[in-house]
Structure 1
Amino acid sequence: MRFAINHITAPGLSLEEFFRAALALGLTEVEIRNDLPDIVDTMTPESVRAAAEKAGVTIVSINALYPFNVWSGDLPRKALALADYAAAAGAKALVMCPLNDGTPVAFEDLVSALVAMKPILEERGLIGLVEPLGFPISSLRTKAEALRAIDEADGEGVYKLVHDTFHHHLAGETEFFPERTGLVHISGVVEPQVAVDDMLDAHRVLVDARDRLENVEQIRVLVEAGFLGPFSFEPFAEEIHRLADPESAVRDSMRHVTDAL
C-alpha cells in the first residue's frame, strides 16, 4: 500500500518542513490545504511548485473546495481560482466537499454543480476528488449517491471518490468502490464514550490499536479489491497537531497499520 500525508497532520510545520518530514517517513505524496494550514492564501502557487520539485514530492491534492454542491454566489469564482492555483502549483487533484451545516441540497443541484465544475477541471488537467461527509448534518453523506450524481453528470474520468475511513464509518456505508476511488483519507477515533453520530473532526487521531472505525478492515477491503492509490493520513484532533514529534507518531501509526494487515 502507498501511504501519503496531509499537511493537517502537522499544521505547525512550514511547507518546506512538512515536505522534509514526509521524506523522512519514506513518503513522496502529500496533500496541502487552504484552511489548516492555509497554504493557498499564504504562498504563491509557483513557490509551492518549486518547493515540491526541490523536495521531490508529488502534491496529490489540494483540500478543499467547499461547498462544491452549492453552485451559486461566490462559489464559481472560488472554484475557478482554486483550480487555477492547483494547476499552477503542480497538484494532481482538487478535493471537493459538500455543504455541511444541516441544509439539504437537492440531488439535481449536486449534479448541476458537477456539470459546471467539469470543464474547469478538464481544461487544467485536474481530477475532482468528491468527498462525501458522513456527518448527520451533511448534504452528501454517501459515496453511492456521489457516484450516482457523477454518472448523471457524465463525469467518469474527471471525478473520483475520496474514501474517508472516518466518514465511511459515520455514514454507515458498507459498499466500497475501489475502481472509482482516487484517494483514501485515514484517521481513527479512540474516545470510548462518544457515540458514532456525535463523532466530530476533533475526535480524529492517528490510527492505533484502540481505533473504533475499523480502519484496518476498511484498508484491507480496498487493498484486496485492487485499489492502488494513496492512503493519506488526515487527523484533525488538536492533540495530534500539538505533538512535539509528529514524525514519530505517524511512523508508529504506519507500523500499526502494516503490521495489522
Structure 2
Amino acid sequence: MDKQKWKQYWNILTSNNLGLFGLGILVVFVLIAIFAPLIAPYDPAERVGQPFMKPNGDFLLGTNDVGQDILSELIYGTRVSLLIGVIAAFISIVIGCFIGIIAGYYGGKIDSLLMRLVDLVLVIPFLPLMILLAAFVGPSFWNIILVISLTSWASPARVVRSQVLTLKTSGYVEAAKSIGTDVKEILLKHILPGVFPILLSQFILAASSAILVEASLSFLGLGDPFTKSWGTILYYAQARGAFLTDAWVWWILPPGILLTALVIAFAFTGYSLEEILNPRLRKER
C-alpha cells in the first residue's frame, strides 16, 4: 500500500474525535497490560495490608478482605482481560472466516449445511450455553477462551458469507476461474483480501464482546481461579461481602468502570475503523 493511501487513512482517523479517543484509551490499556509488573505497587497475590482498608496514601484503592492491594489486582487484571479478549476474538474470527468463505464460495448443499449450523449456534440462548460449556470443561484460562470462541464464531461467519457471495461474482474472480486458477489460490488471493476489512471490524466487535463474556463468566464463578481478571475481582468482591460494607466503593466500582471504559474504547475504535475501510460511511470533508 502506497504512502498516499496511508496518509489518507491517517487523515480520516485523526479527523474522527471519537476514533482518536477510543484508540487512545486502548493504547493506555495495552501499555498498562504490558508494563503491569513495573506499574503495580505491590504483588497482587501478597497480603500487604489489613483487610478492608480504605483508600489511603499507601493503597490508592484500599485492600480486599485478605489485605491484598486492589489497585495492583486491577493492573494485573488488565493483562488477563485483554489477553482473553484478543485471543478468543482471533480464534472466533478465524473459525467464522473459514466457514463463511467456504459456505459463500461453494454454495449449494455445503452452504445450506454450514448455514444451518450457524443458525443452530445463533438460536441457542447465548448465556446458558456458555455457562453450560464453562461448567463442563472446567474453569481455566484456556478453557474460558475455548468457550468464548465456540460460541462467538457464528455471527462473523454469516457476515463473511454475505460478502463472499458478492465477491465471487466480481469480474476478477470470474476471470481467475475462466483461466483455470486453482480454488485455493482464488480463495487466498482474491476472496480473502476482499473480506479482510470486514474481518477487522468484526474482530474489534468480537474482542469487546469476549471481554464482557469473560467478566460475566468469572463473576458467576466460572473463571480461572488462579488468574485475576476484572471479572474474577468482581466475583471475589461479591462473594466475600463487599456489598455488606462500604468496601464496594473501592472494590466493585473500579473494575466495573474499567470494563465500561474498555468496551466504549473498542466501540469508538471500531466505528472509526469502519469509516476508514468503508468509504460510504465517511463524512464529507
TM-score, normalised to structure 1, is 0.27
Considering Cα pairs closer than 8 Å and 6+ residues apart, tell me whether 1 or 2 has the greater RCO: 2
Which has the larger helix fraction? 2
Q: Which is higher, the Rg of structure 1 or of structure 2?
A: 2
TM-score, normalised to structure 2, is 0.25
